[in-house]
Structure 1
Amino acid sequence: MEEQQIDLNKNAQAYGNVAVVMGGYSAEREVSLKTGKAIVASLKRSGVKVTAFEVHQFSSLLLEQLKHFDRVFIALHGAGGEDGTIQGLLECIGVPYTGSGVLGSALAMDKFRTKQIWQACGIPTPEYWLLDKSSPDYDQQFEAFFADVGSNPKLFPLIIKPAEEGSSIGVHKMESLRELGPLLEEGFKTASRLLIERFVEGSEYTAFVMDGKAYPVIRIEAKTGNYDYDAKYVTGDTLYHIPCGLPADSEKLMQFAALKAFESLSCSGWGRADVMVDENGQMYFLVVNTVPGMTETSLVPKSAAAAGMSFDELVLKILDTAQSEKLSKPKLETEEVQA
């Protein structure tokens, strides 16, 4: 045991000085804080030199501090953390960071662009409509949606949600057109773009991917039938099934498709793909999360544990994704202008 500890310390020193950035300004701030604190505690157990940054905004002072670190573990969820913003800032100061780069983060965060790419790549995803309140084409978008669903009640129920948000925040189930007005009014209070998609009746699964490998799939069973914010973080009665119950060949197919869905968006490092399977066995991909929750009860640690990986080992493997090779630009430096 003593020799193992010495080896661990040597490995820990190789990571250098690590910053964990958490909090942020999105609606997922509280979840991000839980994720960040769990990661910091894990890195400390592994002997890594780590500093926690609980941020509210991205200031020049924050960047000045972060440029002195060897790696940044991004524990920010939602806007600012998963949309390419913090990734771009870190590239500008030349500091390696965990997870997807600027492009992959931005595409995965935008559920509308995600669906467009998946459709082009032949990856199944539920039928959808975009309503962009800030677009000059909003009236046409609304008319097209109304024309599709107004005369076809079999399309219901529908899901309405922000086009750029996570943790099931702002997600509502719409049973009929009578509910559309109030749901649009509520949705547009916090988002300018809303995505409406077909509700898939069936079982929900999630697939964790890291470094080109898909880990054991998890089947999610929410007591209410809806895996919403409360089911994820509040009620505590959601069941997570590992093994997931799919036949071995079906699970392998889902894992392969999850990797394809992940890589089609230019995502890299680690992430999680959420999937619905209907009563006919048809898969529908819903979303890719580029910075999934990382508390010790989150989905990614559960999948890793099923593959024999401890939480601390998982955190270090994710930290390994913060490689300098991913930086597309050299560190920006300023020079004094001579008069």
Structure 2
Amino acid sequence: MSNKIAVLYGGNSPEREISLISGNTILNALKKMGIEAYGLDIRDFPLFLLKKKKFKKIFIALHGEGGEDGSIQTILEYLNIPYTGSKSFASSITFNKFIAKTLWKEYGLPVYPHVFLRKIDFIKKNYLEIKKNILKLNFPVCVKPNSTGSSLGISKINNVNYLLDAIKKAFVYSNNILIEKYIEGIEYTVGILGNKTLPSIKIKSFYSFYNYEAKYIDKNTQYFCPSGLNQYKEKELSELAMKAWNVLECSGWGRVDIILDKKNNFQLLEINTCPGMTPNSLFPMAAKKAGLSFCDVIDEILFLAK
């Protein structure tokens, strides 16, 4: 019986280019492992043919809309083909930052104050009323699209004069946006593989927050693994990441982004259910620290696919 694997990458999201790199890196690893694997750009490949082509498992290497938002997962569930990562329900929730934070707050997990704004309300409502609501957060604030990845469309603003431009910029990427109190602190990311956390990574960026430039362009961004936290803080961070993951019913593999604020308290930022798997990505870096090669990680992610 054939064990054909399809790696889905590309697509039409703003994160297409990163997805193509991730997908090709994964594809090369699968071939190196002796697995019959094919890379399929979902922009050009009709998904209903996956069943006809007799693929046994799907490795999702799609980032952003159409890849991490539950839509591709729903189709694969309908086709009854096992795939990597979280199920459609968990994917759609994590992709919606506001819903994720609302659930975390409900479960007593730490999130910073925020305001949710829909494009339709922004058009119809009085801007002064919206501004008044946002001013309660106290500046600086981060204005971000509610449903997108790779830090696209995010602005950190220090005063109200820049608010309108930042809102308009965020609406380019999403019909709903989130304005949240800017958290000054140190950013950490925790990879999760199966039911275990990987060693945390500390991110040191020379930008005011870990934005698109810091992630993919600036060569001065530094990553520390081990993160340098003491064993108690490392344990606290790991446990918080796992709680945040489980509350949203995530599974398989992913990454939880968390910030340590100036009061030495951790605050949840977001979950990435299909992290980058480029040669410079953070998930393989953490796995390597845990003693897992890139091929080990791919093998485990594929094994967990349901």
TM-score tier by shorter-chain length is over 0.9
Q: Which residue of 2 aligns with 1:96?
A: 82
Deviations 1:16-44 (A, max 9, x none): 11000000111111111110000001111
- Distance change (3 Å), C-alpha of 1:55 and 1:259: same
Q: Which residue of 2 aligns with 1:333?
A: none
- How many pairs are equivalent? 305
Task: Give matches, 1:1-339, under 5 Å.
Answer: 16-56=3-43, 61-67=46-52, 68-135=54-121, 139=125, 143=129, 145-150=130-135, 155-323=138-306
SS in structure 2 of the partner of residue 103 of structure 1: helix
CA distance in 2, matches of 1:149, 1:318: 41
CA distance in 2, matches of 1:306, 1:142: 50
**RMSD over equivalenced CA pairs, Å:** 1.9
CA distance in 1, matches of 2:152, 2:90: 21
The normalised TM-score by structure 1 is 0.86
CA distance in 1, matches of 2:16, 2:217: 15
Matched-pair contact (CA < 8 Å) for 1:131–1:141: no
Give the drift of 1:138. 6.2
CA distance in 2, matches of 1:190, 1:231: 19
Matched-pair contact (CA < 8 Å) for 1:132–1:138: no
SS in structure 2 of the partner of residue 52 of structure 1: strand
SS in structure 2 of the partner of residue 156 of structure 1: coil
- Distance change (3 Å), C-alpha of 1:84 and 1:49: same
SS in structure 2 of the partner of residue 155 of structure 1: coil
Matched-pair contact (CA < 8 Å) for 1:131–1:138: no
CA distance in 1, matches of 2:265, 2:164: 31
SS in structure 2 of the partner of residue 20 of structure 1: strand
Structure 2 residue identity aligned to 1:28: E
Give the drift of 1:148. 4.2
CA distance in 2, matches of 1:310, 1:94: 30
CA distance in 2, matches of 1:140, 1:210: 46
Give the drift of 1:65. 3.0
Give the drift of 1:215. 0.8
Structure 2 residue identity aligned to 1:133: K
The normalised TM-score by structure 2 is 0.94
CA distance in 1, matches of 2:164, 2:127: 15
CA distance in 2, matches of 1:207, 1:140: 41
Give the drift of 1:295. 1.1
Matched-pair contact (CA < 8 Å) for 1:19–1:66: no
Structure 2 residue identity aligned to 1:269: G
Percent of pairs identical after alignment?
A: 37
CA distance in 1, matches of 2:276, 2:304: 17
Structure 2 residue identity aligned to 1:265: L
CA distance in 1, matches of 2:116, 2:62: 26
- Which moved further from structure 2: 302-311 or 184-193? 184-193
In structure 1, the gaps of 5 or more residues are 1-12, 324-339
Matched-pair contact (CA < 8 Å) for 2:146–2:176: yes
Matched-pair contact (CA < 8 Å) for 2:254–2:273: yes
Greater gyration radius: 1
Deviations 1:165-193 (A, max 9, x none): 00001111111111111122222233211
CA distance in 1, matches of 2:91, 2:35: 26
CA distance in 2, matches of 1:142, 1:81: 36
